Structure 1
């Protein structure tokens, strides 16, 4: 089981349902594309419902008569949702396929074009979300008060879906590192990602508890709001003012071999305390060649809007940087059952 990571606003007294149906969770990549109308790559703007990204990629490969590795996308999207995203199929020397999607499929092609450039992982910068929280129970005035505070930022936790059902990816990763499990190549990538995410969430949880997640510590590495570029700086009045404005964010570790920039002082102590408790995960990540990266501890939604749409439902709309989870916002508003 995963921990119930501490919240910035405390545990909400309200309960509700997230994803009662796929239409309650709509995600769209913010990624305008202008086709070159030549080249070897077909780009497909696809809407899917109840399918994961890998499934659609495999179906595209089947329709095009190519190997699965010829199909790429910028990011994985939720399964229990309606999502719109770009896919890319490498078709060297081949004509534009008909792309006739079988009627039985729960995904469809909304737009297509040919491009000389390949779509690479992480190409888009933002995702736009429209969520409906339903079956709300509790004091709705409290819910409105909490929603009004979200624009100031929330802890940037990795969502529970990163860790598999009941956190199973973490236990599987530990078994792999201990030599008692032999995962597939896809599973290995998934387990490594889960392990790094778990360590990050644990560091962030501790810093939510001590109040430093949005104020920084001595020896911190910071990230710029727009570019994500990281740098070290003294914790002085200027740094605190930039933190308060949201111009920069304190960061936490995506664990791996240390690089050029390293935390020190209080920030280093906070991270090393977590590493010592999870030495098996740290040793395994180093063994498999992971390098240290940084991720912002605070998540500030863009264009955040909310409104009650009935006596017991709330609609949220906002944009988040690539790789950030909408559930980080939702968990500050309501308690909801985890998807099975």
Structure 2
């Protein structure tokens, strides 16, 4: 079982249901694209329900008669949700096909175009979410109090889906590092990601408990809001103002071999203490030659809107940068 990471505003006083049905969780990539109308790449804007991204990518490859590696996408999307995202099919030497969705499928093509450029992982900047939280119970007034506060920033936790059912990806990762199993390449990537995410969440949890997740700590490496570029700086009046304005965020580690830029001072001491608690995972990550990266500890949702329905359900809309989890926002509002 995973730890119940601390919330920025303390434990919620209300509970509810997330994803009572797929239509209660809608996510759409925010990604403007202008097609060249020529080239070797077919881009497909697809709405899907009940299929994960990788599964649909393989299905598109079979329809097009190409290898799975010829189909790319910008980001992974939930299975149990309504999702809209771009897929790209490399069709060298082939005319633009007439794409037809087979009968009884739960996905449809909303838009398509031909392009000279390949769609690469991480190309979109934001995801737009529209959620419905149903069966609210407990202190709903507490939810109303929390709603305007989340718009000012939330802890940027990795969501529980990163770790598998009941943390199964973490258990499998430890077995792999101990030499007990030999997972396939895709599984290895998934387990490495889960291990780094667990270490990051643990660092962030300590910072939330200490109240330094948004305000900064001596020795912090700061992350720029838009680009994600990082830099080391002392906390002075300028840094404090940029933190307050949301222009920069404190960052936490995606563990690996340290490069030229590393945390210092109190930040380094805190992170080293967490590394010692996960020494087996850190050793395994080092053996896999991963480089240290940094991820913002805070994320500020954009265009946050909400409305309570007549049946008491909460409709909630917001945008998050790619790689950030809607569940990290929901858990700041309710227990679900």
What is the TM-score of this pair, normalised by structure 2? 0.99
Counterpart of 2:180 in structure 1 is 180
Which SS does the other structure have where 1:252 is aligned? Answer: strand
Partners of 1:93 and 1:40 lie apart in 2 by 7
Q: What's the offset of the Cα at 1:228?
A: 1.2
- Give the stretch that moved more between structures: 187-196 or 94-103: 94-103
1:255-292 alpha-carbon deviations (Å, 9 max, x no partner): 11101110010000110011000011111111001001
Counterpart of 1:46 in structure 2 is 46
Which SS does the other structure have where 1:152 is aligned? Answer: coil
Q: What's the offset of the Cα at 1:311?
A: 3.7
**8 A contact 1:137–1:312 mirrored in 2:** no
Partners of 2:77 and 2:123 lie apart in 1 by 14
Counterpart of 2:218 in structure 1 is 218
- Give the stretch that moved more between structures: 134-143 or 17-26: 134-143
1:254 to 2:254 alignment: yes
1:263 to 2:236 alignment: no
Q: How does 1:1-340 map to 2 (within 5 A)?
A: 1-336=1-336
1:150-208 alpha-carbon deviations (Å, 9 max, x no partner): 11111000000000000000010000011101111110110010000000000000110
- Counting matched residue pairs gives 336
Partners of 1:56 and 1:97 lie apart in 2 by 18
Q: What's the offset of the Cα at 1:310?
A: 2.5
User: Any gaps of 5 or more consecutive residues in structure 2?
Assistant: none
Partners of 2:180 and 2:17 lie apart in 1 by 38
Partners of 1:245 and 1:328 lie apart in 2 by 21
Which SS does the other structure have where 1:143 is aligned? Answer: helix
User: Any gaps of 5 or more consecutive residues in structure 1?
Assistant: none
RMSD: 0.7
What is the TM-score of this pair, normalised by structure 1? 0.98
Which SS does the other structure have where 1:111 is aligned? Answer: strand
